[in-house]
Structure 1
């Protein structure tokens, strides 16, 4: 029988659960001890040595290395060690590139047969095939319309156990989730677009409510009707020279 050894302990049970999940991704079984006692009597955590994460004795050194590197923000595999932040940034850039390609295809569906991935260093060949397949499925679903024939109407009319609402679900939930993700990416990209100030040429600008109070008659009337005592005009503002511009 393999003996269990404590590889990590903490007064906060969630810390052990996070590391337990990390070890399980490596295929290592781990067990948490004294968790229930800590939840019931949290002030006894120090007295009993906290919540304990235990692993088989033959996996102890490997688990200790995983935990030590995790605390340093690193991971490792057969190829060596690497920083978690670097991997996350690469994945963020990869997802942004995928979303950029999707947004182009959604804007012009003819690009689906013309777009190339030769210059991409983040998207692998297998991913490009899946991406294009998903986009073809998305375009096919986007063209799908609600249909309800008279034959279906009479069929549903005399069948009380069925529901007519299924005919309104022309597209699956995944379609709307995918659509919303790409639309949010496009809107976020548009909102982050930087405009140079025409007065000083600075790019230290931001789009929002204008702070130059130009009290023309139309603007004053709209302000009083829609947002009293609050400026409704939105413009780009330069933080270097203070200029507001469209």
Structure 2
């Protein structure tokens, strides 16, 4: 198999990114001289940089893919699309999905069919899919934890079992989906409370499982009883700008936007 070079770069990661893109199009791609550049980066120019090679018979198709990337376009079997336009449509479509889900969750019952939901962005099959997802969400939302000591200790003593799966009645995806829909539409112009980091005054703050001071006596007792590290239970606010973790102080850490 004869190979031909279609791209060179002094930065190896560039070739790896393009290699993945070519392979997604069914094109075989190989990277040459990568190790030489990693070991001696100052010699990259002298050795011609890292080289991305493809089979000679696939070179023309590979060049077309690279050209579409340089022109900021996406190409598939249906044609060529501007990346910005495609992204804008995708965002608009996702916002419409969140809008419909947000409205459906405010109602006690779901519509009987997709025709009852009006949307200029989504097709009928896409709305039907949303209804099916919401029906499953409402089932999980009503699911409550039922505790049985017999079942609990049975799971705990069964080393092939999953005691934490017994405690966790709802999948992680349920909580992720719930938070995304609940946060939909919230912006800086809305009348909502925003948390401010007391250390750097940043608003890039999120509430979740503690990254600092996450263990205490209760955690150790629960870990001892379950004979394994207990899932993290302590939560607080964490600033992603300065890394500071803190508890919310209503007088100084909240302000209305």
Q: Normalising to structure 2: TM-score of the pair?
A: 0.68
Instruction: Give how far 1:126 is off.
Output: 3.1
Counterpart CA distance in 2 for 1:72 and 1:58 is 23
In the TM superposition, what whole-angstrom CA distance separates every residue of 1:114-134 from its partner, at most 9, and x where no partner exists? Answer: 664775343233322222111
Aligned-partner SS, 1:113: coil
8 A Cα contact 2:3 2:54, kept in partner? yes
- Paired position in structure 1 for 2:154: 156
Gaps of 5+ in 1: 195-206, 210-224, 236-246
Answer yes or no: is 1:147 the counterpart of 2:146. Answer: yes
Answer yes or no: is 1:68 the counterpart of 2:67. Answer: yes
- Paired position in structure 1 for 2:236: none
Write out aligned runs for 1:1-246 (5 A): 2-113=1-112, 116=115, 119-149=118-148, 151-152=150-151, 156=154, 159=157, 161=159, 164-186=163-185, 188-189=186-187, 191-193=188-190, 226-227=251-252, 234=256
Instruction: Give how far 1:97 is off.
Output: 0.4
- Paired position in structure 2 for 1:219: none
- Paired position in structure 2 for 1:221: none
CA RMSD of superposed structures (Å)? 3.1
Counterpart CA distance in 2 for 1:208 and 1:170 is 30
- Paired position in structure 2 for 1:240: none
Q: Normalising to structure 1: TM-score of the pair?
A: 0.70
Instruction: Give how far 1:78 is off.
Output: 3.8
Going from structure 1 to structure 2, the CA distance change for 1:37 and 1:150 (only over 3 Å counts) comes to closer
Instruction: Give how far 1:234 is off.
Output: 4.1
The number of residues matched between the two structures is 201
Going from structure 1 to structure 2, the CA distance change for 1:102 and 1:35 (only over 3 Å counts) comes to same
Aligned-partner SS, 2:173: helix
Aligned-partner SS, 1:39: helix
- Paired position in structure 2 for 1:215: none
8 A Cα contact 2:10 2:44, kept in partner? yes
Greater share of residues in helix: 1
Going from structure 1 to structure 2, the CA distance change for 1:12 and 1:112 (only over 3 Å counts) comes to farther
Instruction: Give how far 1:19 is off.
Output: 1.1
Instruction: Give how far 1:62 is off.
Output: 1.3
Counterpart CA distance in 1 for 2:156 and 2:18 is 58
Counterpart CA distance in 1 for 2:100 and 2:12 is 43
Counterpart CA distance in 2 for 1:106 and 1:145 is 18
8 A Cα contact 1:11 1:45, kept in partner? yes
